[in-house]
A = this chain, B = another copy of it.
Amino acid sequence: MFDKFNDECGVFGIFGSTSAAAHTALGLHALQHRGQEAAGIVSCLDGQFFSHRAMGLVGDNFSDAAVMNRLQGASAIGHNRYSTTGETLLRNVQPFYADLALGGFALAHNGNLTNAITLRRELIARGSLFASTSDTEVIVHRVALSRSAAIEDRVIDALKLVEGAYSLVILAPKSLIGVRDPNGVRPLVLGKLGDAHIITSETCALDIIGAEHVRDVEPGEMIIVDESGVRSLFPFAAQPPRFCIFEYVYFARPDSVMQNTSVYAVRKRIGAELAREFGVAADVVVPVPDSGVPGAIGYAETAGIPFDLGIIRNHYVGRTFIEPSESVRHLGVKLKHNANSALLKGKRVILVDDSIVRGTTSKKIVTMVREAGASEVHMRIASPPTTNPCFYGVDTPEKSQLMAANHTIDEMAKIIGVDSLAFLTMDGLYRAVGEAKRNNELPQYCDACFSGEYPIALTDNASGISGNQKDLFVKDVA
């Protein structure tokens, strides 16, 4: 919709809070950028679970006192969802809940499993019933089928069968569990507020409730929080860490800290790297709002060129778009952005954006900036060209839709209509996150969207199963 890669989810779990559901709602609100389609919370009191899941924003669904009061108990987990295409259904909204023989069980997942359809087919063949069309449900089935006694062992049994990226929070009658896949693709952090422990996607969700950031959950680590405190397990074979580098580029909130590194600081350093790598004479550095702002500040500081808001964002554009008639449909980008003509007129402009996906928005923005009177337009992109889709929990178009996968940079510059176009180099990006350079033998991060090197097997894909095996599923009407 916004011509961006979109992260698919945010998760939050808390144990030992007197306001567990309220804290979870606040945490999810802070994580709203990770998913705006739907939200859900499951809480637990004395083995009884309470669930509310709804389409829409957290603030629209979890601000009613009656709803919140019924989400009882001192522990809770929650989930924000960003859906891929089509399957926008309440039954796909997480957390998923199940009655297991040993009691209730709820789970929320950020990431994507790469062998989910394969596992789903096996489970259906053996007689399991699926309530959703989500990859996440296979984990719940496998937990239910495990013969282990302890809930954490059941989870481990289940996760040993799955491949892909996952940061999970799990609510059991007497515990909260957080797990991160062995490569640590998606983020997960541990926090503390008084006697309560929190496991969530980003530190901004700790900040909002005034919780302390204890540390990141490690790749492959399972954290168990219960009455006796916090335990840590590493139940899986160790894997080299491959944290998603795009979290720094775009997904995470700038005020979050990941791997002890400020996201905002990384983005400013990216801007600085861009200025060093691809400097150009200009009068003003203009961010494409809002994601381009830190990079533009970093670029401007390093290049010594003024930073200014040459494009103004209309913050009232949310989920609804005005496209009242064909005759005005071409206005598109103007619903969200307007050029600050008084500023841009006659100026040589450097536009800083985080990435180019399909390129359609970039083209419209450049046209708008030129019509506002800019004499030159140079575009600088705060990441390498995105040439490959993600299979680890990010909503990306197919390769055929990715501009950089199908055009040279010169062609892109021509299509977009800029005087010059440059993408940050891969090494520049690695420098911005604190590495000397990319280790091409064993990259320190997952950068598959730039490099095409997928660190985790794409089992479903390899079996020729496309990502949308919709023929298996019933269609919900209306």
Using CB atoms and an 8 Å cutoff, list the residues of chain A in contact with chain B: 18-19, 21-23, 25-26, 29-30, 32-33, 36, 42, 47-52, 57-60, 62-68, 70-71, 90-91, 97-101, 104, 106, 124-131, 140-141, 144-146, 204, 207-210, 253-255, 257, 262, 264-265, 268, 290, 293-294, 297, 301, 306-309, 312, 314-318, 320-325, 327-328, 331, 334-335, 338-343, 471-478
Contacts and interface: CB of A to CB of B under 8 A. Distances in A.
- By secondary structure, the A interface counts as mixed
Contact of A204 (B60, B65, B328, B338): B338
Copies of this subunit: 4
A337 B268 CA distance: 20
Contacts of A316: 29, 32-33, 36, 57-59
Contact of A207 (B57, B141, B145, B341): B341
B104 A127 contact: no
Contacts of A472: 99
A23 B328 contact: yes
A260 B241 CA distance: 57
Closest 8 CB pairs of A and B: A262-B342, A127-B145, A131-B131, A22-B324, A52-B477, A32-B316, A68-B324, A255-B312
A285 to B, nearest CB: 11
Contacts of A320: 57, 59-60, 63
A324 B98 contact: no
27 contacts: A18-B327, A25-B322, A25-B324, A26-B328, A33-B315, A33-B316, A48-B474, A50-B477, A52-B478, A57-B316, A59-B321, A60-B320, A70-B475, A70-B478, A71-B477, A101-B127, A124-B144, A127-B128, A128-B129, A129-B140, A207-B338, A255-B312, A255-B340, A255-B342, A264-B309, A294-B309, A307-B307
